[in-house]
Amino acid sequence: MAHAESDIPPFRYTSALAQDIELRWQAWWEQHHSFEAPNPAGPLADPDAVAGMEKLFVLDMFPYPSGTGLHVGHPLGYIGTDVYSRYKRMAGYNVCYAMGFDAFGLPAEQYAVQTGQHPAVTTAANVANMRRQLRRLGLSHDPRRSIDTTDPGYYRWTQWIFLQIFNSWYDTELPSRDGRGLGRARPIAELITAFESGECPTPDGREWAELTEAERRAIVDDRRLAYVSEAPVNWCPGLGTVVANEEVTADGRSDRGNFPVFKRSMRQWMMRITSYADRLIDDLDLLDWTDAIKTMQRNWIGRSEGARVRFASPAGEIEVFTTRPDTLFGATFMVLAPEHPLVAALTTHDHAEAVAAYRRTAAAKKDIDRQDLGRDKTGVFTGSSAINPVNAELVPVWIADYVLTGYGTGAIMAVPCGDQRDFEFARQFGLAIPAIQTPPAAWFAGRGIEASLDTATWPEAYVGDAPYVNSANADGLDLNGVSSVAEGTRLTNEWLSVRSHGRGNVNFKLRDWLFSRQRYWGEPFPIVHDEFGPVALPDSSLPVLLPETESFSPRTFDPDDEFSNPESPLDRLDWWTDVELDLGDGPRRYHRDTNVMPQWAGSCWYELRYLDPTNDETFVDPAVEQYWMGPKGNGHPGGVDLYVGGVEHAVLHLLYSRFWHKVLFDLGHVSSIEPYYRLFNQGLILAAAFKDEREIYVEAAEVEERDGLFFHHDEPVTREWGRMGKSLKNGVSPDEMYDAYGADTLRLYEMSTGPMDASRPWETRDVVGMYRFLQRVWRNLVDEDSGEPRLGPPATVETLRVLHRTIDGVRTDIDGLRINTAISKLIELNNYLTKLGSCPCDVAEPLVLMLAPLSPHLAEELWAKLGHADSLIREPFPVADPAMLVAATIELPVQVNGKFRSRIVIPSDATEAVATAAALADAKVIKSLNGAEPKKIIVVPGRTVNIVA
């Protein structure tokens, strides 16, 4: 062993040397406060330092501090943002770059239940471990700006923002603050004033002064942006808590824990995100996000324009939502969801039994079965009919489970000729299918049938623009001859509105956000209750600290006990829940709200706290927010300059966060309309996972490959690819990589394996490639025996050309976050230098500076060896000399009839005629032409010559 080690030169770039370099520079950066970004105002103010620098706010989606720490899949995005931040610092920017921890949530609570340790203790330990791992990676975060959502100094402001939302209502009439339309949040006090003055009428028209305290409170609470409401929720007895719709899996079980989930109605805190539905859709246009993510958000919000139409029935009016009011004349029956409240009243005696049986069957079905594709339509007739408002015809009312309670009004008008589901339902039950549009000839031709209005010949419904027929009544509505859906809809809506049968209406798929959890490890609500309902605590009482307790887990129940009721851990703490307070009208007794907020709350505004993390006066100083996030003028919404994170947050986090930001904007607390201007979705690092014959995952690290087959302790196993993590037993810790190669190598490897937005498999054996690269760079600049710099004479013009082409390419690549190709270009430059035999003295510094964002520790060490006393983090990034980017001659490929046949070398400023002549004179071209006369010659300057013969 000793002998083997002595063979390695003492100053070779080995993992041991890499460790030494990295730890030393990490300590240096910390001591010199290298990454601290000055603020223009507030506690971190340093106005002189801010002056003269452009700002840049770079943000990662912050991690949840799990007990297993980081695996190498986590830092892909972090390394990317670090490279970008370091690069921009070298370009003279003041870069705000920080990292925090999204530390509330169920896993910490459940882990704490298992280990008996308080979640605060385990969370603190996990955060400390992840901080260590991230620091070891050399990320250039401003350490002063780190936040932890479970820190009372942080969640004090989460609670404060909640109170801002609670104390607001949405005025749909007032022009928005950004001038982009109507609607804005206003202080609830202004609504009360409007009620008092009579400017705003009460719901039942009585004078405000005549109302009791209870009535007034109920009216006001009903308008708040955060409100308590009876809501259909997913009760999960196995977790002892309610889970959000978004957290329920397709098979009706909980996302975490995989327990059965039951639909129940319970009183819950809700956030009125639906008030912002229009703005959340419209303002997507202002953002630099990919179309894919924008489309996903639009689909989630699901705006559809149509009409609400009322049909008279024996049980009263039935309201339906339709996107095609223009097809009302074709509505020949109605379908209600089995759970619709009018079903009982509509059902006649002779149909009672069938309806009851159908409702039982539908209720017993899990959502997944109800949504099963391709099954036959089912349904039963209620025995009653309603009246179609446009033609007074009787339409039978059915119930069927393909109509859902949760969307629209839970009732539809069925137009079998114009909607495929209705068409199938009508065929199934022998209901009439009158035609109300004349489909175009091509539609019939495409289906191989004769054009006819006899729908018995149609294989399916016709959907789209086409002239209407049979669509007129004697009461002023006549669509016959109209041929566009838009015009038909407009005319129908107008008629419906005038005759009071309905009105044009926009419907959203988005529902209000269920905001309370019956758990322990979350932010307590800054709310107490008196006999009339919730009462906001004053700002002075914040933070409302999460009370200490031994029993911090929610009470759990038999997972199948649907009718159990949630019991929050806070419910049991009488000493905490029962309080006497003076909230302005003398001391009174109150009961604290025992819910906690969902994990989303802390992540809804963390980017704002990074900006001013130590401010005790306010959640963020307005001047600081304006500096880092303010709009850059003319249609720019403001927000984070670059936000990098996984596509799995495309909808929920990014929607909730935008909603909170918009409320804060409406209330004048922030100057930016949107929180995240540019969003970049990084890919996942996938890792091989192995299952044995019992379909159980085995430790991937223990699997051997033999001849393309895989074995775990000699048992054959099968390979699949998945996210890295505990559940697939395929995690690779960055600590292993630091030991084997060092952080610089890990950084380069993760960046080199592909573009940032692509998912790619982790291959530990490939990591060595980047290690070798750094070793070769080191060897080109440092003598491996003496450790002294080893530089050659000044570069030739040819070498300078290579250098400047590299500089140009690397700049372009990093600007576009194409870090993988930037690395390739640096490897090419280094390989070129290796062939030269030594690195010219005037190439060494630009090379080191270009490496600085990517492998910062190695670059710092080399920079010091080149004789610099200070760090290079603020050295200007090299700039390419345009004169060096053009060569005297260029090599041009020549095609004959589109096939590449030869290459010619001509002056780079050669005219087309010169290029043509050179191409025609080329021996291989002459051979390929074989005597044929060129018919046409295409010269693409600098690219190619193509001779068509």
* Residue whose CB is less far from RNA, 278 or 593: 278
Stretch that binds RNA, among 277-285, 345-353, 659-667, 763-771 (CB under 7 A): 763-771
The yes or no reply on residue 351 touching RNA (CB under 7 A) is no
**What's the rounded Cα separation, in Å, for the pair 97 and 611?**
9
Residue closer to RNA by CB (options 58, 415) is: 415
> Which lies closer to RNA via its Cβ, residue 67 or residue 440?
440
How many angstroms separate the CA atoms of 188 and 221, rounded? 9
Stretch 22-51 residues interacting with RNA (CB under 7 A) = none
- Consecutive H or E run containing 799: helix 797-815
Locus of tokens 């809700």:
270
CB 91, min distance to RNA, A: 22
Q: Kindly state the helix (H) or strand (E) to which residue 506 belongs, with its residue range.
A: strand 502-507
Interface segment toward RNA; rule CB under 7 A; list 45-53, 154-162, 737-745, 753-761: 753-761
CB-wise, 510 or 663, nearer to RNA? 510
Which residues have CB under 8 Å from 550's CB, separation 6+?
A: none
Q: Which residue has the tokens 């640096």?
A: 826
Establish if 827 lies at the interface with RNA (CB under 7 A).
yes
Could you tell me the end-to-end alpha-carbon distance of the chain, in angstroms, rounded to an integer?
70
The dihedral region occupied by 884, where left means phi > 0, alpha psi between -120 and 50, and beta the remainder, is alpha
Which of 94, 158, 516, 753 contacts RNA by CB under 7 A?
753
Q: Does 770 bind RNA (CB under 7 A)?
A: yes
**Residue 296 in contact with RNA, rule: CB under 7 A:** yes
**% helix, strand, coil for the chain, step of 5:** 40, 20, 40
Judged by CB under 7 A, the residue of 97, 381, 619, 771 near RNA is 771
* Contacting residue, 4, 364, 441, 456, with RNA by CB under 7 A: 4
Q: Which is nearer to RNA, 150 or 313 (CB)?
A: 313
Question: Residues 196 to 255: which contact RNA by CB under 7 A?
Answer: none
Decide whether 475 or 766 has the Cβ nearer to RNA. 766
* CB-CB contact of 417 with 423 (8 Å): yes
Residue 24 or 760 with smaller CB distance to RNA:
760
Scan residues 777-806 and list those touching RNA (CB under 7 A): 779
Q: Strands, DSSP E only, in 99-225?
A: 168-175, 182-187
Asked if 322 touches RNA (CB under 7 A), the answer is yes
Nearer to RNA by Cβ, of 99 and 947: the residue is 947
Burial group, residue 639, by CB count within 10 angstroms (0-12, 13-18, 19+): buried
Choices 274-282, 747-755, 876-884, 907-915; region in contact with RNA by CB under 7 A: 747-755
Applying CB under 7 A, the span of 192-200, 515-523, 526-534, 643-651 interacting with RNA comes to: 643-651
Which residues from 484-503 bind RNA, rule CB under 7 A? none
With CB under 7 A as the contact rule, the residue among 111, 834, 845, 906 that binds RNA is 834
The verdict on 944 binding RNA (CB under 7 A) reads yes
Site for RNA in 507-546 (CB under 7 A): 507, 509
Cβ of residue 785: shortest distance to RNA, in angstroms?
13
Can residue 838 be called a binding residue for RNA (CB under 7 A)? no
Non-local CB neighbours of 1 within 8 Å, separated by 6+ positions:
none
Work out how close the CB of 891 gets to RNA at its nearest, in angstroms, rounded to a whole number. 5
Footprint on residues 387-426 left by RNA (CB under 7 A): 401-404, 406-408, 410, 412-413, 419, 421
Least separation, in Å, of the C-beta of 26 and RNA? Answer: 25
- Looking at residue 644, the DSSP 8-state letter turns out to be E
Q: Map tokens 């002459």 to a residue.
A: 926
DSSP 587-631: EEEEEE---B--THHHHTSHHHHHHSTT-SSSSS-HHHHHHHH--
C-alpha span between 578 and 589 (Å, rounded): 7
The label of the residue with tokens 């705006």 reads 303
* Min separation Cβ 477 and RNA, Å: 18
Task: Report 177-196 residues binding RNA (CB under 7 A).
Answer: none
Among 202, 323, 541, 618, binds RNA (CB under 7 A): 323
Beta-carbon contacts of 369 under 8 Å, excluding residues fewer than 6 positions away, are none
Residue 510 CB, shortest distance to RNA, in Å, is 10
Residue 431 or 528 with smaller CB distance to RNA: 431
- In our burial notation (b when 16+ CB lie closer than 10 A, e otherwise), range 215-237 reads bbbebbbebbbbbbeebbbbbbb
Task: Write down how long the chain is.
Answer: 949
The strand pairing partners of 581, in sequence order, are 588
Angle between helices 768-781 and 743-752 (to 10 degrees): 120
Binding mask 101-140 for RNA (x = CB under 7 A): ----------------------------------------
Interacting positions 359-388 with RNA (CB under 7 A): 370-373, 375, 377-378
Q: How many chain residues are in contact with RNA, going by CB under 7 A?
A: 87
For the bound state, the minimum distance from the C-beta of residue 403 to RNA, rounded and expressed in Å, comes to 4
Question: Phi and psi at residue 568, in whole multiples of 5°?
Answer: -65, 150
Rounded CA separation 643/555 (Å): 38
CB of 528 to RNA, least distance (A): 36
Those residues with Cβ within 8 angstroms of residue 867's Cβ, 6 or more apart along the chain or in another chain: 789
State the Cα–Cα distance between residues 892 and 915, nearest whole angstrom: 9
Q: DSSP assignment of 378-400, as one string?
A: --EEEEEEEE-TTT--EEEEEE-
Q: Which of 772, 783, 907, 921 binds RNA (CB under 7 A)?
A: 772
694 contacts RNA (rule: CB under 7 A): no
- Taking alpha carbons only, the member of 284, 320, 323, 289 closest to residue 301 is 284
Minimum Å gap between C-beta 921 and RNA is 18
Q: How far apart are CA 450 and CA 465, in angstroms?
A: 19
Between CA 868 and CA 862 the distance in angstroms is 9
Q: Is 321 in the site for RNA (CB under 7 A)?
A: yes
Closest approach of RNA to the CB of residue 773, in Å: 6
Which residues are paired to 39 by β-bridges? 45
Largest Cα separation within the chain, whole Å, is 108
Of 792 and 893, the one with the shorter C-beta distance to RNA is: 893
- Closest of 447, 448, 471 to residue 461, by C-alpha: 447
Phi, psi angles (nearest 5°) of residue 851: -75, -20
Q: How far is the CB of 275 from RNA (least distance, A)?
A: 19
Contact between residue 96 and residue 746 where contact means Cβ atoms under 8 Å apart: no
Q: Which of 173, 199, 291, 450 binds RNA (CB under 7 A)?
A: 291
**How far is Cα of residue 847 from the mean position of the Cα atoms in its chain?**
37
Is the CB of 295 or the CB of 796 nearer to RNA?
295
Which of 118, 180, 649, 760 lies at the binding interface for RNA (CB under 7 A)?
A: 760
Residue from 823, 833, 850, 858 that binds RNA (CB under 7 A)? 823
Angle at CA of residue 365, ends 364 and 366, nearest 5°: 120
Instruction: State the minimum distance, in angstroms, from the CB of residue 937 to RNA.
Output: 9
- Asked if residues 480 and 391 have their Cβ atoms less than 8 Å apart, the reply is no
Which one of 81, 126, 595, 820 is in contact with RNA (CB under 7 A)? 820
| Residues 76-95 within binding reach of RNA (CB under 7 A) | none
Q: Is 304 in the site for RNA (CB under 7 A)?
A: yes
- Which listed residue (23, 45, 192, 938) binds RNA by CB under 7 A? 938
C-alpha to C-alpha distance for 245 and 252, rounded to whole angstroms:
10
Please, which residue, 420 or 452, has the CB nearer to RNA? 420
877-906 binders of RNA (CB under 7 A): 891, 893, 895, 897-898, 900-901, 903
647 touching RNA, by CB under 7 A: yes
Residue of 38, 252, 302, 504 interacting with RNA (CB under 7 A):
302
Question: Site for RNA (CB under 7 A): which residue of 116, 765, 888, 933?
Answer: 765
